[in-house]
Amino acid sequence: MANTYHQIYIQTVFAVKYRKAIIDKTWQNELFGVIGNLINETGCKTIIVNGVEDHVHCLIGLKPVISVSELMKSVKAKSSKFINDHLLTPERFEWQEGYGVFSYSQSQLDEVYKYIQNQEEHHKKRTFNEEYLGFLQKFKVNDDERYIFEALI
């Protein structure tokens, strides 16, 4: 076969360290734009980036030559640098270690897009912890709750 064809869709979810609610509405959209551009720079396709003050969701068309871990390492490191270089938080900004990644089919994209688009409304009814544990259960991911959420020391 002369060409490689692919259709791989993933949602990534990652949180501010200790789940601090510090992504401010005044610069939130700029951050989501930066994250989208960072995803696109890897050759992957940003479909939507959105979130709330303590975490971010990204719906991505994954390029098969890019590993999810490589993508997330780059996006999290460079977006943290952007926040810190622009002094957007009073303290040094960090993302929590790790992330969630979940795969979807083409037929599910509209539903996932709307879910990500409505994060603010969604989180009036459900905490991030409840949402994230719900993803793990829905996708039948074996987890140990002791290691999912990093506690504030």
Q: Residue 64 sits in a domain of what CATH number?
A: 3.30.70.1290
Q: How many domains does the chain have?
A: 1
Question: What is this structure's pTM?
Answer: 0.90
For residues 82 and 115, give the distance between their C-alpha atoms in angstroms, rounded to a whole number: 26
- 2 — pLDDT class (breaks 50, 70, 90): confident
Helices (H) and strands (E) in the chain, counts: 5, 4
Domain extent, residue 135, equals 9-107+116-147
**24 falls within a domain:** yes
* d(C-alpha 101, C-alpha 91), whole Å: 28
What gap in Å lies between CA 79 and CA 73, rounded to an integer?
A: 10
Least confident of 45-59, 68-82, 91-105, 130-144: 130-144
Share of the chain above pLDDT 90, in %: 75
Q: Give the pLDDT of residue 153.
A: 46
- Report pLDDT digits (tens) over 31-52: 999 999 999 999 999 999 999 9
pLDDT for the residue numbered 137? 85
